[in-house]
Structure 1
Amino acid sequence: MSTPENTPQPGYYNLTPAQFSTEIRQPGAVLLDVRRPDEFAQGHLPDAVNIEVTAPDFAQRVAALDKAAPTYVYCRSGARSAKAAEQLAQAGFTHVTNMLGGVLDWPEPLTMR
């Protein structure tokens, strides 16, 4: 029986926050926060890039990212990031991972820098 963690979705993987925390430490990883800029300003994961998934220019902005780089996506609860992960996979990104539960379940301190 499969569990939600590590279950392949069409083109991306889901990880628990603990698994996600370990994975994002690899060299070359791109950490993508897809929440609104005001949410991002209230606290985000260190070194995250903020590109709002609901912004009209989302596809154009992510097209500037390296499609071959491991890309880790998160939001507040995991819903918007799953949508973004699917869009990234459809756009040709080869290693996309979504964090289940979002920052609501993130066990480490957030940064405001």
Structure 2
Amino acid sequence: MKCKLIKMLTALLGLTGAACVQKNIPANAIVTVDAVSFEKALSDVNAQIIDVRTSEEFAEGHIEKALNIDVTQSDFIEKAKKQLDKSKTSYVYCRSGRRSMMSADLLSKEGFKVVNLRGGYLEWQSYKDK
């Protein structure tokens, strides 16, 4: 019983810590979070939400206030530099998480602070459907 309680408290503290660390992300860093933590972070007025899927995927549905910059396009970094503010945290997502990690890596190499949505838009939809 005592062991279960310790495990539950440790897990709870871990989730709380993940939500807190997002506001203090250093430049060139990537933090990957679940949909619950991603949504909490989006309450930050300085959040830059970037959907890195194709424009067709974006048109089918996206997270509110998201900016669409397709990571598969050769001018991804140029567009990101023009449209994003390095002093603000960039919250990235794609369909399932692969492209957003690729974009997070590219953005962090340019000095952006990045939060990646693990599981992408699929996880987001599943979370919102609950």
Say whether the fold is shared (TM-score over 0.5).
yes
Task: Calculate the aligned-residue CA RMSD, in Å.
Answer: 1.9
Task: Report the TM-score when normalising by structure 1.
Answer: 0.85
Asked if 1:52 is matched to 2:70, the reply is yes
What is the deviation of 1:33? Answer: 0.2
Task: Report the TM-score when normalising by structure 2.
Answer: 0.74
Q: Who is 1:74 aligned against?
A: 93
Q: Which runs of 4+ in 1 moved over 4 A?
A: none
**Identity in percent:** 38
Q: Which 5+ residue runs of structure 1 have no aligned equivalent?
A: none
Which of structures 1 and 2 has the bigger CA Rg?
A: 2
Amino acid at match of 1:80: R
Question: May I ask how many residue pairs the two structures share in their alignment?
Answer: 103
Q: Which 5+ residue runs of structure 2 have no aligned equivalent?
A: 1-14, 19-24
Question: Could you list the per-position Cα deviations for residues 75-97 of structure 1 after superposition, in whole angstroms to 9, with x for gaps in the alignment?
Answer: 0001100000010000111x210
Q: Structure 2 matches for 1:13-28, cutoff 5 A?
A: 13-28=31-46
How far, CA to CA, are the matches of 1:105 and 1:92 in structure 2? Answer: 27
How far, CA to CA, are the matches of 2:128 and 2:110 in structure 1? Answer: 31
How far, CA to CA, are the matches of 2:88 and 2:100 in structure 1? Answer: 17
Amino acid at match of 2:103: A
How far, CA to CA, are the matches of 2:128 and 2:49 in structure 1? Answer: 15
How far, CA to CA, are the matches of 2:62 and 2:128 in structure 1? Answer: 10
Question: Could you list the per-position Cα deviations for residues 18-72 of structure 1 after superposition, in whole angstroms to 9, with x for gaps in the alignment?
Answer: 1101101111110000000000000000000000001011010001110110110
Greater relative contact order (Cα 8 A, min sep 6): structure 1 or 2? 1
